[in-house]
A and B are shown apart, each in its own frame.
Chain A
Amino acid sequence: MSTQPQPEHAAPSPEPGPSRVRFWMVCALILALALPLQLSVDAGLFPDVLNPYYLHLLTIIGMNIILVASLNLLNGYLGEFALGHAGFMAVGAYTAALLATKALPSAAALPPVLGTCVILVVTLGGAMLMAAGIGYLIGLVTFKTVGDYLAIITLGFNMIIVNAIQNLDFVGGPRGFTGIPKNTNFLAVAVCALLTLGLLRNLIQSSFGRVWVSIRENAIAAELMGVSIARAKNWAFTIAAAFAGLAGGLWAQNQQFITPRSFDYIKTTEILVMLYLGGMASLSGSILGVVAYTLLMELLRNLLSAFAPQLAEWRMLISPLILIIIMLTRQTGLLGNREWRWLRPRQGA
């Protein structure tokens, strides 16, 4: 294996026309399924088929899609190697938790559905803004470097954020933040994930976002074309951080309990595994990677606990092995640089 084939970069040039299935149709379908699902699980209908556990899995998948797709912006489209995504997630989670517990009234004091919506919008908006602000500041520093050093610096900031939270007593310090109201449900996560995907898809295909791919392909050529590299990179970093904050805000209000340690380097690695499993520079890959990884892990957990309970913990070895095997056999991941047709923009539009 002396000469590896170069990954098929650049746009997939002679594309077949987009399919008849459009992005909004997929969104409508998912929402049309999610709404009755959420309602019937909440009402406790069909407890045998509609186990809340499945809904919980879907919720996790939705939040992970937001995380992975936004990291793909940096690691896939921009072509940098950022290692600090969990740090921004932590910022979002703690901001949302603070807003939900300290600043806002509880959902019970407000009208039932509308109140939760308002709380969600405020907390998630705050989480995104805070994460974006911190991401912007960190990006100013980070993008003075490239390559390996950028990876180290982003990781360093992840550690610093976690360390800072551990030293803040009013958010619980190392003991964690407890008593966050449960405002997030599967429906909210589904809406946020679809919004994220739609926004990222449009951004990446816009002239604003194509600059990122041009930087990845050849930074010097892009600079000669008049691209302000520092500004474009910082935009990407800020946007990715904002979405990581969104996922964190959803996470905090779903788990109801967060600790700084759950946002350290191990979480970042988990996001990376899903990203590389799915494929770089592909939103379809991000979706597929998250779904495949989550289902595989749950399947292994169930299989092992059913047939070999003493080996149940050994599935922790599977996830790093998957990562190694992907890298050794298929470096572009399952769907690297390719998109499902419904995620592509309309030609000539």
Chain B
Amino acid sequence: MDTIIQQLFNAAQLGAVYALIALGYSMVYGIIRLINFAHGDIFMLGGFIGLLLTTRFGWMPFYLLLPLAMLLTALVGVAIERVAYRRLRNAQRMSVVITTLGVGIFLENLVRLTVGPETRQIPARLPSAPVVWLQQHLGAFVTWDKLLIILISLALMAILWLVVNRTLIGTAMRAVADNKDAVPLMGVNLNLVIAVTFAIGSALAAAGGIFYGQAYSIDPYMGIDLGWKAFIAAVIGGIGSIEGAVLGSFLLAGVEVITVAYLSSNLKNGIAFGLLILLLLVWPWGIMGKPTLKKV
């Protein structure tokens, strides 16, 4: 029983990181129908910006460090959209996708060359004592940092949900997702809406990167693996849907934790991708996605 609860918390922690990345994929896809393959590397960059801040500005408390890293990464995300993607917005779909691939490799190599290829750990800034209450009542050994990561992630997702569903900019984002051509005619600044989407997605990914660096470790190529996993999660949940991205992330993390705990850690990636392919075949639009019609 206690190990099951512990595994549940492990899955929730991993799922929270996946969800923070998957939301960025899903939002960008929902709005401009673009698979942003560089998003996993934005997540990696967020982790390294967090590392830089913690090592250079050691006095900075976590509640300042996290928003600052999110802000910086958001700026990078917006800059990339401005420089590399905006000009291609009306081009063939695949041209943009390939550009995002290029941006991703560029970021990986840039970090590798400037920081180094080693695996690093962000110095712990969250308390790592076990949660006494859980230990006494459920017998599960869960540390505070794990619990905090899960809770802060859920809070960020709740804020995102409020922004998308309760604010003017969120309404504009949903409108663009619905009809990109009609929205500018209504006087909405399309470029601004898209920039804000990239900013939010990048900021969430940065939070994910820092959490990942606190819980595990970071290296310049982690964006490939985790980015793909998060992307799978977004697709399983139904890409373009915020609730779907979160649901898919926790589902995928659950499957992965079970695989590692009861089968073999070598099979982790194979099973994740197998699950993706299987789900796409029986459920092409994901759990919460909307089907698109094929038009003549």
Contacts and interface: CB of A to CB of B under 8 A. Distances in A.
Interface of A: 1-4, 7, 75, 81, 141, 144-145, 147-149, 151-153, 155-157, 159-160, 163-164, 166-167, 220, 265-266, 269, 272-273, 276, 313-314, 316-317, 319-321, 323-324, 327-328, 331
A160 B84 CA distance: 31
B192 to A, nearest CB: 17
Q: At the interface, is chain A mostly helix, strand, loop or mixed?
A: helix
B255 interface: no
Contacts of A4: 88, 90-92
Given A269-B101, A316-B113, A317-B109, A147 B93 contact: yes
Given A327-B88, A331-B95, 10 more contacts: A147-B93, A152-B235, A153-B276, A153-B280, A156-B277, A160-B270, A323-B102, A324-B84, A327-B95, A327-B99
Interface residues of B, number: 42
Contacts of A265: 224, 228
Given A1-B87, A167-B270, A328-B87, A151 B35 contact: yes
17 contacts: A4-B88, A4-B90, A4-B92, A144-B284, A156-B232, A156-B273, A159-B269, A159-B270, A163-B269, A266-B224, A317-B106, A320-B101, A320-B104, A323-B98, A323-B101, A324-B106, A328-B99
Contacts of B99: 323-324, 327-328
Contacts of B264: 167
Given A160-B273, A272-B98, A328-B87, A320 B92 contact: no
B277 A157 contact: yes
Contacts of A313: 113
Contacts of B103: 320, 324
B231 interface: yes
Contacts of B134: none
B267 interface: yes
Contacts of B88: 4, 327-328
B281 interface: yes
B175 interface: no
Contacts of A1: 87, 90
B271 to A, nearest CB: 9
Q: List 4 A-B pairs, minimum CB-CB distance, nearest first.
A: A323-B102, A163-B270, A320-B106, A320-B105
A273 to B, nearest CB: 8
A317 B95 CA distance: 19
A133 to B, nearest CB: 18
Given A4-B90, A152-B231, A156-B277, A327 B110 contact: no
Nearest to A80: B94
Interface of B: 35, 84, 87-88, 90-99, 101-106, 109-110, 112-113, 224, 228, 231-232, 235, 264, 266-267, 269-270, 273-274, 276-277, 280-281, 284, 296
Contacts of A3: 90
Nearest to A1: B87
Contacts of A164: 270
B106 A328 contact: no
Nearest to A164: B270
A327 B281 contact: no
Contact of B280 (A2, A149, A163, A327): A149
Contacts of B235: 149, 152
A146 to B, nearest CB: 9
Contacts of B224: 265-266
Contacts of A145: 280-281, 284
B92 to A, nearest CB: 7
Given A160-B273, A328-B84, A328-B88, A151 B97 contact: yes
Contacts of B92: 4, 7, 331
A159 B90 contact: no
B97 A269 contact: no
B234 to A, nearest CB: 10
A306 B88 CA distance: 37
Nearest to A220: B296
A319 B113 contact: no
A141 B281 contact: yes
A153 B277 contact: yes
Given A4-B91, A317-B110, A328-B84, A159 B273 contact: yes
Contacts of A220: 296
A156 B232 CA distance: 9
A16 to B, nearest CB: 28
Contacts of B113: 313-314, 316-317
A203 B204 CA distance: 48
Nearest to A81: B94
B105 A156 contact: no
A276 B98 contact: yes
B276 A152 contact: yes
A331 B112 CA distance: 29
B47 to A, nearest CB: 20
A143 B291 CA distance: 18
Nearest to B273: A156
Given A4-B90, A328-B84, A321 B273 contact: no
Nearest to A224: B296
A149 B240 CA distance: 13
Contacts of A272: 98, 101
Contact of A327 (B102, B231, B267, B296): B102
A167 B98 contact: no
Contacts of A328: 84, 87-88, 99
Given A147-B93, A167-B267, A269 B105 contact: yes
Nearest to B278: A141
